[in-house]
């Protein structure tokens, strides 16, 4: 093959290497399954504007994965650049994450709502798809809330970055 980059047949570590080069905003997605359940996601994407719809992936073997096999609703929180400790707390297993570095309350829909985030969305499951080791959830957005200030936490190459301190240039993308 005449590519300028050496290509190799895909395997899990190959995808991991590619996605380490990618950058992603960081979300914490909560639901209720008896008690509060939540996980840190770098897979949040907007799918459709009309109707407003998002998607995210959750590991099937995790507590959140088990919850999302049946969950009808959740709250998607976008983390602020100063919330790396929150992301780390929700990236590991265990119930202690809700006793960790972020305050929360029972919010709309009887769901865990985290304090101090950039923005959040109350979502309702539209479709679930098992894809390999993950559940892909497509969800309708029911309510939105946006905090005017602050910048996003970004995950790249195994680290958190604060892009509001990076260089910027105007873009034509919507």
Site for a copy of itself in 66-95 (CB under 8 A): 78, 84, 87-88, 91-92
| 2 binds a copy of itself, rule: CB under 8 A | yes
| 158 binds a copy of itself, rule: CB under 8 A | yes
Select 33 or 116, whichever has its Cβ closest to a copy of itself: 116
Residues 22-61: x where in contact with a copy of itself by CB under 8 A, - otherwise, as a string:
xxxx-x------------x-xxxxxxxxxxxxxxxx----
Report yes or no: 59 and 134 within 8 Å, Cβ to Cβ: yes
Question: Between residue 107 and residue 126, which ones bind a copy of itself under the rule CB under 8 A?
Answer: 107-108, 113, 115-122, 126
**145 C-beta neighbours (distance < 10 Å), count:** 15
How many chain residues interact with a copy of itself (CB under 8 A)?
A: 99
CA–CA gap between residue 146 and residue 93 (Å, rounded): 28
Report yes or no: 145 and 119 within 8 Å, Cβ to Cβ: yes
User: Which of these segments, 30-38, 63-71, 94-102, 134-142, binds a copy of itself (CB under 8 A)?
Assistant: 134-142
Report yes or no: 76 and 38 within 8 Å, Cβ to Cβ: no
Angle formed at CA 126 by CA 107 and CA 47, multiple of 5 degrees: 95
Minimum distance between the CB of residue 72 and a copy of itself, rounded to whole angstroms?
A: 16
Q: Is 37 helix (H, G, I), strand (E, B) or coil?
A: strand
């Amino acid at each position: 093959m005449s590519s300028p980059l050496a290509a190799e047949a895909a395997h899990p570590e190959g995808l991991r290497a590619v996605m380490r080069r990618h950058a992603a905003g960081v979300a914490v997605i909560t639901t209720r399954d008896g008690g509060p359940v939540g996980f840190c996601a770098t897979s949040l994407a907007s799918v459709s504007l009309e109707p407003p719809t998002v998607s995210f992936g959750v590991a099937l073997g995790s507590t959140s994965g088990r919850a999302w096999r049946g969950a009808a609703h959740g709250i998607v929180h976008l983390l602020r650049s100063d919330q790396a400790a929150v992301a780390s707390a929700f990236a590991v297993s265990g119930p202690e994450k809700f006793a960790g570095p972020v305050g929360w309350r029972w919010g709309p829909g009887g769901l865990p709502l985290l304090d101090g985030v950039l923005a959040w969305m109350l979502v309702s499951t539209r479709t679930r798809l098992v894809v390999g080791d993950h559940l892909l959830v497509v969800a309708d957005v029911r309510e939105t809330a946006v905090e005017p200030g602050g910048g996003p936490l970004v995950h790249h190459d195994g680290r958190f970055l604060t892009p509001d301190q990076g260089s910027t240039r105007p873009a034509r993308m919507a």
